[in-house]
């Protein structure tokens, strides 16, 4: 690769007048690129993957360049994992990420697309072209336009919502306001085409990519189960969130004439101070948008008195107040969503596979208050006890795979498990869990019986077949008290334990600890 610096004095002066900071993350192949950028006026710094988090915090780069020296090895996997984590966390999502490699391979380009890299190029690209591409990237960043994944693979997104919910909890503890929004795909108004599962999935994918490209740089969006998107808008209260999301919805409809979606929002502290309550209240709002022909496409949770909290925005730099007022008024006039009550066509799959009906807060939860599988206070005490056990040296599992389709239950179990000191990875249906278990080795699988697609018992059956006739890890299943046949079948297939819903957090954590401690 050429090491000649760029000699265009005007371009170099433009860079050195306001020096850009470039952090190059590489194990071996980034030295020449660092030298080129330094010669062109950049403040360039190199770091290994292990040192990257500290370097990002200390250096505060304008761009992160991740050098992939080869395809298919551990270095590539670690780089991709780090890039996905940076994209998922609110604190680092705004950093532009560029992939550079020594061998241009399809797998690397695909990884860049999935993660939403802002650019990618070969290390042998002429230096002047590299600088031109970086200048173009900075222009897009300054215009507040970010790249979104070209192809949105939910198996690469399943960690993102956990990082997002962690960020929400941190903001709640810090006393910072914000808004959570749930998005469901619906049939476009006046569309005569059957709105089936394929149309729903395509709508969610396109909405996800659109929002990732057009939200503010501090906002975040992730898949939250197979039928839902979750959006977090830090430092935005209800009026600002409705205005911003309504504007984005109109822009989405202009670009995607055959797609549509509805949104329910809940803000903190106005509508609650814990993530599970906020999600359930956002579910209730989006359910109203899906079922009430007079409701708009973007609506907020209604308080018990029937009034929506609508206070002044908290430290939100956009939209401008005049635009905000206008868009709040427009939000009340958004055309109602189409009726989505048409059932999806029945699709035959493998034995025992079925499409479970979608669940909403309105249809399954008491209207007076969100129902809970667990008591929050007892859960906090149980989690604290587990952390003390781990600190004292008790033999306990560490890494769990959670497989739960219901969004509120996933949030509850995830909060309990992570508060107890476990590392948790998530899958939203049985097939995703089976894919993950081909490449990862968690200490325990905790899954719900009621899953989208194949149920929990069928997931265990297929896992046995996938693992050569035996389960390769302990399995704990969550199940309703009246499903004795499923409980018996799960145990016969080799599940360690079955926990009845609603569950006691102390008992669930004890079951997880005992099951995961077996050699």
The segments of the chain whose pLDDT lies below 70 read: 1-18, 29, 69-77, 88-90, 104-116, 139-162, 190-193, 217, 225, 293-295, 304-374, 439, 518-519
Q: Under CATH, to which class is 154-331 assigned?
A: alpha beta
Distance CA 262, CA 246 (A): 10
Given this model, what pLDDT does residue 328 score? 36
The CA distance from 398 to 422, in Å, is 5
Q: What is the pLDDT of residue 1?
A: 39
* pLDDT value, residue 191: 64
Q: How far apart are CA 187 and CA 422, in angstroms?
A: 40
How far apart (Å, rounded) are the C-alpha atoms in residues 143 and 138? 8
DSSP class of residue 452 equals: B
14: Cα within 13 Å, side-chain hemisphere: 11
Q: 450: closest CA among 338, 318, 355? A: 355
Which residues sit opposite 25 in a β-bridge? 47, 66
pLDDT value for 518: 67
Cross-strand partners of 186: 260
Burial 411-448 (b: 16+ CB within 10 A, else e): bbbbbbbbbbbbebbbbbbbbbbbebbeeeebbbbbbb
Look at residue 465 in the predicted model and tell me its pLDDT: 87
The verdict on whether omega for the bond into residue 502 sits within 30 degrees of 0, i.e. cis, is yes
pLDDT at 379: 86
Answer yes or no: CATH 3.40.50.2300 is held by domain 376-516.
yes
- Predicted pLDDT of residue 102: 76
Give the pLDDT score at 428: 83
Same fold, 9-142 and 376-516: yes
Torsion of CA 269, 271, 275, 276, to 10 degrees: 160
Tell me the domain boundaries of the chain: 9-142, 154-331, 376-516
Q: What is the CATH number of domain 9-142?
A: 3.40.50.2300
pLDDT at 147: 44
Does the pTM surpass 0.95? The reply is: no
Tokens of 327: 């868009």
How far apart (Å, rounded) are the C-alpha atoms in residues 480 and 502? 7
Express each pLDDT in 220-257 by its tens digit: 888 876 778 889 999 998 999 999 999 999 999 998 88
Q: What is the pLDDT of residue 145?
A: 45
What integer pLDDT is reported at residue 507 of this predicted model? 93
pLDDT at residue 88, as a whole number = 67
């Amino acid at each position: 690769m050429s090491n000649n610096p760029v000699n265009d004095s005007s371009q170099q002066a433009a860079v050195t007048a306001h020096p850009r900071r470039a952090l190059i993350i590489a194990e071996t192949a980034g030295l020449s690129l660092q030298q080129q950028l330094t010669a062109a006026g950049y403040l360039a710094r190199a770091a290994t993957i292990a040192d990257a988090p500290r370097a990002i915090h200390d250096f505060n780069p304008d761009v992160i360049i991740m050098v992939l020296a080869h395809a298919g090895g551990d270095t590539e996997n670690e780089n991709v994992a780090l890039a996905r984590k940076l994209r998922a966390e609110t604190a680092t999502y705004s950093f532009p990420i560029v992939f550079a490699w020594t061998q241009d391979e399809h797998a690397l380009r695909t990884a860049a697309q999935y993660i939403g890299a802002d650019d990618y190029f070969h290390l042998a690209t002429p230096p002047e072209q590299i600088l031109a591409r970086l200048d173009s990237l900075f222009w897009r960043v300054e215009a507040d336009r970010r790249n979104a994944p070209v192809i949105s693979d939910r198996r690469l997104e399943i960690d993102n919502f956990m990082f997002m919910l962690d960020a929400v909890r941190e903001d709640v503890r810090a006393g910072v306001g914000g808004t959570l929004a749930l998005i469901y795909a619906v049939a476009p108004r006046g569309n005569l085409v059957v709105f089936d599962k394929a149309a729903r999935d395509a709508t969610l994918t396109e909405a996800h990519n659109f929002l990732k490209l057009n939200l503010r740089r501090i906002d975040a969006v992730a898949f939250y189960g197979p039928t839902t998107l979750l959006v977090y808008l830090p430092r935005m209260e209800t009026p600002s969130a409705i205005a911003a999301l309504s504007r984005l919805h109109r822009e989405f409809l202009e670009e995607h004439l055959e797609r549509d979606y509805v949104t329910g929002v809940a803000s903190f502290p106005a509508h609650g101070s814990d993530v599970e309550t906020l999600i359930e209240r956002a579910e209730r709002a989006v359910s109203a948008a899906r079922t009430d022909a007079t409701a708009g496409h973007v609506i907020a949770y209604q308080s018990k008195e029937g009034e929506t909290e609508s206070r002044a925005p908290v430290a939100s730099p956009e939209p401008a107040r005049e635009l905000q007022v206008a868009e709040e008024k427009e939000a009340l006039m958004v055309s109602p969503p189409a009726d989505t009550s048409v059932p999806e066509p029945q699709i035959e799959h493998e034995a025992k596979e079925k499409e479970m009906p979608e669940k909403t807060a309105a249809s399954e939860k008491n209207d007076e208050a969100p129902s809970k599988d667990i008591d929050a206070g007892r859960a906090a005490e149980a989690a604290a006890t587990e952390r003390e056990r781990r600190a004292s040296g008790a033999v306990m599992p560490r890494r769990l795979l959670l497989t739960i389709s219901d969004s509120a239950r996933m949030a509850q179990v995830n909060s309990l498990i992570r508060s107890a000191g476990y590392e948790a990875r998530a899958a939203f249906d049985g097939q995703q869990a089976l894919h993950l278990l081909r490449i990862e080795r968690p200490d325990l699988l905790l899954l719900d019986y009621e899953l989208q697609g194949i149920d929990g018992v069928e997931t265990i059956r297929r896992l046995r077949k996938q693992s050569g006739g035996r389960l390769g890890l302990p399995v704990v299943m969550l199940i309703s008290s009246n499903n004795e046949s499923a409980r018996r079948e799960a145990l016969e297939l080799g599940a360690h334990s079955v926990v009845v819903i609603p569950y006691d957090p102390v008992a669930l954590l004890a079951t997880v600890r005992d099951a995961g401690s077996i050699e």
